[in-house]
Amino acid sequence: MPMALADLQAELQSAFPDAEIKIDDLAGDGDHYRARITSSAFAGLSRVKQHQLVYAALKGKVGGELHALALETLVPDQTA
């Protein structure tokens, strides 16, 4: 069963309370999302480490109920 956008938003907001999070449903099927997460939790971390933090926060849901997640992680005041 696909993951609802609201559920994904809630899980990410819970893991990164200070974050500004923007999520797009790429295919309209609740299975393919793009998330842009801006959080001070990413400060000083490599892009790989930032993404690992997000995957850990989702507790193994990526590849399961969440088929695909394209990530963009940023630190506040960082330009894309």
| Structure tokens belonging to residue 48 | 């790989």
4 vs 30, 31, 42, CA distance in Å? 6, 8, 25
For 22-67, the pLDDT digits (tens) are 999 998 888 889 999 999 999 999 999 999 999 999 988 888 878 8
What pLDDT is stored for residue 28 in this prediction?
A: 85
Nearest Cα residue to 11 out of 78, 56, 74: 56
pTM over 0.85: yes
Q: Would you list the domain boundaries of the chain?
A: 5-74
CATH code: domain 5-74 is 3.30.300.90
